[in-house]
């Protein structure tokens, strides 16, 4: 088998595995309801598979550098969600989503430029997330009608994640660690939710679902930070396992706190 064919086959398998992850998460989110579904959506269902496949091709130092960029970009994702929530209240889809993406792009450029150390990236998250949560908090209580996703909803989300993983894996050798971390952190799941739900349940309800996931994003940021700090001293695979445990533990804690009425 030629090297090019081997690469194409393995890339297709990696994309298919990533798509299966996001379909499973989508089914679970649909059955769990909007609030819990938003927490499921903030699990690393797109970035996680991307990093697993990157680990097959790159050393721990590359993984650590990529994860640092992802930590910084996590704050940009919070701004992306916040921008959509605000824009969607009075603007049509054609303005709200591209407008939010433009704001994400500007944030991405700014945050990657200044996040030269883990502490700066962490500080960005500690400043941005409380502000974003305070801004979107009142929009979280909009009534969300029952959702029933169709087969093409799953297909759209799965294809987006599959192409993201394909791009991350195939471009990582050319664009370097930092740009790979940026690409891995692209908010493909949130974007797919906007595309699928905006016309299905309405802009205010979609904004409520996304706003409910802002705090969940902190878990993804903590997982990326864990990978950045642990990849070199522990090795890539133990660091990835630890990062996954951090993300799951964070979202499970939020679920318990919501069930007990501690947070709303």
Q: Which pLDDT value is given to residue 160? A: 67
In a domain, 210, yes or no: yes
The answer on pLDDT for 5 being more than 50 is no
Model pLDDT for residues 238-262, shown as the tens digit of each residue = 999 999 899 888 888 877 777 776 6
Residue 113, classed as helix, strand or coil, is helix
Taking the CA atoms of residue 131, residue 192, residue 241 and residue 234 in that order, the dihedral angle to the nearest 10 degrees is -70
Q: How far apart are CA 119 and CA 250, in angstroms?
A: 20
In a domain, 39, yes or no: yes
The answer on pLDDT for 1 being more than 50 is no
Model pLDDT for residues 36-74, shown as the tens digit of each residue = 666 666 667 667 777 887 888 889 999 999 999 999 999
* Contact in structure between 204 and 100 (CB atoms under 8 Å): no
Q: Which pLDDT value is given to residue 142? A: 73
Q: Which domain holds residue 104?
A: 3-259
Q: How far apart are CA 21 and CA 15, in angstroms?
A: 10
Q: How far apart are CA 11 and CA 5, in angstroms?
A: 10
Give just the sign of the alpha carbon dihedral 69, 74, 79, 80: positive
Residue 115, classed as helix, strand or coil, is coil
In a domain, 264, yes or no: no
Q: How far apart are CA 48 and CA 4, in angstroms?
A: 25
At residue 149 the predicted structure's pLDDT band, cuts being 50, 70 and 90, is low
Match 């890339």 to its residue by tokens.
11
In a domain, 185, yes or no: yes
Pair of tokens at residue 69? 């960029």
Give the closest residue to 80 by CA, choosing from 179, 211, 181: 211
pTM of the model: 0.81
Note the maximum CA span of the chain.
Answer: 58
More confident residue, 10 or 248: 248
Specify the length of the chain in residues: 264
At residue 264 the predicted structure's pLDDT band, cuts being 50, 70 and 90, is low
* Contact in structure between 49 and 73 (CB atoms under 8 Å): no
**Summary mean pLDDT of the chain:** 79
In a domain, 47, yes or no: yes
The answer on pLDDT for 106 being more than 90 is yes
At residue 130 the predicted structure's pLDDT band, cuts being 50, 70 and 90, is very high
What percent of the chain clears pLDDT 70, i.e. is strictly above it? 72
In a domain, 30, yes or no: yes
Q: How far apart are CA 160 and CA 23, in angstroms?
A: 11
* Contact in structure between 251 and 43 (CB atoms under 8 Å): yes
Model pLDDT for residues 210-223, shown as the tens digit of each residue = 888 788 888 889 99
In a domain, 106, yes or no: yes
Overall domain count for the chain: 1
Q: How far apart are CA 192 and CA 159, in angstroms?
A: 10
At residue 103 the predicted structure's pLDDT band, cuts being 50, 70 and 90, is very high
Model pLDDT for residues 177-212, shown as the tens digit of each residue = 888 888 888 887 788 778 777 777 788 888 888 888
Q: Which pLDDT value is given to residue 30? A: 54
């Amino acid at each position: 088998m030629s090297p090019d064919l081997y690469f194409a086959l393995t890339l297709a398998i990696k994309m298919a595995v990533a798509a299966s992850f996001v379909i499973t998460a989508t089914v679970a989110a649909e059955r769990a309801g909007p609030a819990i579904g938003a927490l499921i959506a903030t699990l690393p269902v797109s970035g996680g598979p991307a990093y697993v496949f990157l680990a097959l091709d790159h050393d721990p130092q590359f993984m650590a550098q990529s994860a640092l960029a992802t930590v910084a970009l996590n704050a940009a994702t919070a701004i992306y969600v916040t921008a959509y929530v605000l824009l969607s209240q009075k603007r049509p889809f054609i303005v709200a989503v591209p407008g939010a993406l433009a704001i994400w792009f500007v944030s991405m450029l700014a945050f990657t430029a200044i996040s030269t150390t883990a502490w700066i990236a962490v500080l960005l998250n500690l400043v941005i997330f409380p502000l974003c949560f305070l801004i979107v908090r009142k929009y979280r209580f909009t009534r969300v009608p029952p959702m029933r996703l169709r087969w093409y909803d799953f297909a759209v989300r799965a294809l987006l994640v599959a192409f993201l993983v394909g791009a991350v894996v195939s471009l990582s050798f050319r664009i370097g660690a930092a740009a790979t971390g940026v690409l891995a952190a692209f908010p493909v799941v949130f974007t797919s939710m906007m595309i699928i739900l905006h016309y299905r349940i309405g802009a205010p309800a979609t904004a409520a679902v996304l706003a409910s996931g802002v705090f969940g994003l902190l878990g993804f940021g903590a997982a990326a930070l864990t990978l950045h700090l642990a990849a070199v001293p522990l090795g890539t695979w133990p660091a990835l396992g630890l990062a996954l445990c951090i993300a799951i533990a964070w979202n499970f804690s939020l679920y318990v706190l919501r069930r007990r009425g501690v947070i709303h």
